[in-house]
Chain A
Amino acid sequence: MNRRLFSKLHRWMTIVVIMGILYSIPLLSFLQKTGSYSFYENRMLAEAPVFSVSSVMDGSFFEGCEEYLSNRIYKRNRWMSAYTAAHLHLLKKSVVNDVVVAENLLLTPLTPQPPFLSYGDLGVRAADDLRRLKDKVESVGGKLVVLGVPEQYSILRDRYPFPLFNNDVNLTAIETTFFNSVAQAGIEAVNMKPYYERSSDRTLLYAKTDHHYRLEGAYLTYSVLCEKLVDLGLNIRITKEEDFEYVELPNPFLGSRAKKLIGRSPVEEHLSIYKLKDEIPFTRCDNGVPVDASVFALPNSDEAPVEYLVYMGGDVAETVIQTSRPELPDVLLFGNSFTNALETFLYTSFNETRSLDLRLYHEMGILEYIEEYRPDVVVCLRYDLEYLLQSGNGIIE
């Protein structure tokens, strides 16, 4: 082939390929049928904007078009997965999609920040709130225990690869301030961090790819909490390790951090559930509606990935478990998703177990709730990143 013809042919082929890409992607995007939910992002995808003169003139129509096309581009998950794989395996990045890829572990990236100097005031404020809570619990004849659990990256902070920042100074300061303030206020509290730290391998207690603890960590939390309650004079029966057996699920575990890696996580792990040797019959109501009497939400097949949602089916505003054992006390537990795995054990020791997530429950404030249901024990579960915050489950009103 002569040189000129070759150049012309090659030029046209390149133009055709580029144009082919520019034309086929939008065409395929509009032809493909996609659901409205993005599994990896846990959100609804943008819908097509509604055309109107006002939406055009205020720009919202065009913004909607941008978002819609970005969200619905052809094989979007595959593009994102390829991007993630390239960054993980080809470019060997230590932070990908806002996840730190440490040795056999996924953590969250942190921005270096200087030590914050005003924790003292926040501690006093948090303790004041908890003192009001304690007064209310005691006014109905109950006992309050504040249960502190660290987040995964906090308990595994020494596993951050150099030179990534692990915020140790601030995390330690927050923890110390909180528990000192709570102790000064005369509130019973359990800091789980030292218990977890005694473990030879903290990744047996905490997930490698998720920000929560594993069921094993939840059990340790449960047993330490129950021992504390027994010390406080409560008549409860603690479920011992010999009373149940762990069952490892064959399904791949898709932790929150692994999920951000669009299923390309280099770290694999499996979740466990447990089976009691002597079953305890119970009923369960979520948000006032009776549901299956189960504390594990298992997938339909052994291949389907499972998430932390396997425990209690995820976050629910209000869950009530009745075991019809009036000789045992009633407990109210409130906190964020760390309560889910804990609840799977907690109900075994109580007559009635109520669980609230104040981020989702808005019918009444926690003080009013206690007044209405008058539990024997109130467990306020806080995780260490929010020890000093007055939001979500830190709103005591």
Chain B
Amino acid sequence: MVFSSPVFLFIFLPFVFGIYFLVPSKQLPLRNLVLLCFSLFFYFYGEQRATVVILMSIAGNYFFALAISEQKQECSRKRQVVLWSSVLFNLGILFYYKYANFFFENLNLFLSEPVEAAHIALPIGVSFFTFQGMSYVFDVYRGLPPQRNILNVALYISLFPQLVAGPIVRYETIQSELTSRQESSELVFAGLSRFVVGLGKKMLLANTMGEIADSIFQLDFAVLSPCLSWLGAAAYAFQILFDFSGYSDMAIGLGLVFGFHFLDNFNYPYISTSITEFWRRWHISLSTWFRDYVYIPLGGNRKGSGRQIVNIAFVWALTGLWHGAAWNFVVWGLYFAFLLIVEKLVLGRVLEKAWRPLAHLYSLTMILIGWVIFNSPNLEYIGHYLSTMFSLNIYNPIAPGYGWFYIQQYKIEWILCFVFSTPLIKIAVQRYQKNPTFEVLHSLSVIAVLLVSILYMVNTSFNPFIYFRF
């Protein structure tokens, strides 16, 4: 069930709101139980049989955290054994469900007799809930008290707003809110507004940019001109930004409605002047997860620059793989590792002193190249697409000027994408939020965005039958 579907918006959400707020606010455990039941149903709705995987993850991490907390601090060896067992358990789930097919496909390239691997379906959100489960065990290992009640662990791991697409909520972030939190009309208002903004980003901007990106990335290379290929990359960049940040906004907004404060996951990444800055602004919950739970424990920058470079490369190869079991994701991760290392060693200082528009241009160019790698079906495609982007043969005789169609047809959406990818609106809101007129305008805009998003949502069900093709 995706947040932008009618079933979620008009069936699931009214039920969960209705039943949750019918329970008196003093009965927090009961409210938690309501949320947990709806969260598990939410998962079951999309993954009937794989629900057992998330239940397994909940149970496993609950017991590992308890086991760690029961060891005294001085028994560091035993604690480490349990910790590593939990890592193996979680990575085992992840490897089996996400990477086994990829592993055997590649292994078979080197074997004379291929290994017959069972094709394992990828459970939705496995990367997210596994990382949350690991975060729980790590944070308990670092000293936070574990949850004695397994239902609270279950709620933390399966909480539906962030269950299938993040943000990755670390245990330390909402640990106290699991057992004690304030809900108020301010939070409900803020949460609903944030949810609607996210829905609008997804329905109005991401989906539209997706139409452009999909059609350009599917074009025959004989038709693709440099202009079209850059447009395709830009459209994909906006699509992935508004799709992902929209989903995060919806998750954060729903969290607020129920009194949870998830951390921001995106902070206008395309205004960055370096790739280092970009990764401080993009998918913050993932990059900080890797930073705190992998990069720093590996030694980070504390063991010399040589080791740091190895650490960066390792972490970014993992980051790439986390996004998907395919070589283009590994290449994508290593591409950013390379840029981050170069910026750390040389380019960073140059960019700090450089004319800001030039630094922006550099960042955006590198980001777009990154998205081409990310969105390509295979390594060969990456080569073709990138060579087209940088080709000097601008004129395409098959469909001359076709790129203009994507600009003209989607001119309003392009403008909105540019505006919403910068903090302009946020600045305006902050400046005028005390003004009553602005407050009313803000609310009217939220309601209008909701209605327009529903308009788009309904139209996606428009499905003319084949008589249009005779």
Contacts and interface: CB of A to CB of B under 8 A. Distances in A.
Contacts of A73: 6, 10, 458, 461
Contacts of B456: 83
Contacts of B409: 93-95
A71 B461 contact: yes
A93 B410 CA distance: 8
Interface stretch (A14-22, A123-131, A222-230): A14-22
Interface in B402-416: 402-405, 408-409, 412
Contacts, number: 161
B418 interface: no
Residue from B1, B443, B446 having most chain A Cβ neighbours under 10 A:
B443
Nearest to A386: B470
Given A41-B464, A56-B48, A15 B185 contact: yes
A18 B450 contact: yes
Contact of B220 (A13, A66, A82, A114): A114
A70 B219 contact: no
B112 interface: no
A62 B5 CA distance: 12
B467 interface: yes
Nearest to B218: A111
Interface stretch (B143-151, B188-196, B282-290): B188-196
Contact of A112 (B11, B46, B398, B436): B398
Interface stretch (A159-167, A233-241, A269-277, A341-349): A159-167
Interface stretch (A23-31, A187-195, A371-379): A23-31
A112 B358 CA distance: 35
A97 interface: yes
Nearest to A69: B6
B192 A15 contact: yes
B10 A165 contact: no
A80 B17 CA distance: 28
A58 interface: yes
A25 B453 CA distance: 14
B439 A8 contact: no
A112 B223 contact: yes
A35 interface: no
A172 interface: no
Contact of B5 (A8, A18, A66): A66
Contact of B446 (A3, A18, A65, A115): A18
B393 interface: no
Contacts of A6: 436, 439
Contact of B14 (A23, A97, A359, A392): A23
Contact of B443 (A10, A57, A59, A162): A10
Nearest to A21: B450
A124 B412 CA distance: 49
A13 B443 contact: yes
Nearest to B189: A11
Contacts of B5: 66, 70
A51 interface: no
B163 to A, nearest CB: 16
A26 B5 CA distance: 13
B116 interface: no
Contacts of A251: none
Interface in B152-179: none
Contacts of A362: none
Interface string B426-451: 00000000001001100100110011
Given A26-B11, A42-B464, A95-B409, A83 B17 contact: no
A57 B454 contact: no
Contact of A70 (B6, B189, B408): B6
Given A41-B465, A94-B409, A165 B455 contact: no
Given A62-B45, A79-B455, A112-B402, A17 B223 contact: no
A11 B458 contact: no
Tell me if A's interface is mostly helix, strand, loop or mixed.
helix
B13 interface: yes
B436 A3 contact: yes
Bin the interface of chain A by size: 35 or more
Contacts of A22: 9-10, 13-14, 17
A66 B451 contact: no
B465 A42 contact: yes
A256 interface: yes
B377 interface: no
B468 A256 contact: yes
A43 B462 CA distance: 11
Interface string A74-118: 001001101110100001011101100000000000011111000
Contact of A57 (B9, B48, B398, B446): B48
Contacts of B353: none
B19 to A, nearest CB: 13
A21 B219 contact: no
A79 B456 CA distance: 8
A215 B215 CA distance: 36
A17 B48 contact: no
Nearest to A76: B458
A163 B401 contact: yes
Residue from A26, A42, A112 having most chain B Cβ neighbours under 10 A:
A112
Nearest to A163: B401
B185 A113 contact: no
Nearest to B11: A26
A8 to B, nearest CB: 7
Contacts of A94: 405, 408-409
Nearest to B401: A163
A163 B461 contact: no
25 contacts: A10-B439, A10-B443, A11-B185, A12-B189, A13-B443, A14-B443, A14-B446, A21-B451, A22-B14, A26-B10, A26-B11, A41-B462, A59-B48, A70-B5, A79-B459, A80-B462, A93-B409, A97-B462, A112-B219, A114-B220, A114-B222, A211-B470, A256-B467, A256-B468, A337-B470
Interface of A: 3, 6-8, 10-15, 17-19, 21-23, 25-26, 29, 40-43, 56-59, 62, 65-66, 69-71, 73, 76, 79-80, 82-84, 86, 91, 93-95, 97-98, 111-115, 162-165, 169, 211, 256-257, 259-260, 262, 336-337, 359, 392
Closest 7 A/B residue pairs (Cβ): A112-B399, A163-B401, A114-B222, A70-B461, A43-B465, A79-B458, A26-B10
Interface of B: 1, 5-7, 9-11, 13-14, 17, 45-46, 48-49, 185-186, 188-189, 192-193, 196, 215, 218-220, 222-223, 398-405, 408-409, 412, 436, 439-440, 443, 446-447, 450-451, 454-456, 458-465, 467-468, 470
Given A13-B443, A19-B14, A42-B464, 11 more contacts: A7-B439, A18-B446, A22-B10, A22-B13, A82-B455, A162-B404, A163-B401, A163-B404, A164-B402, A164-B405, A259-B464
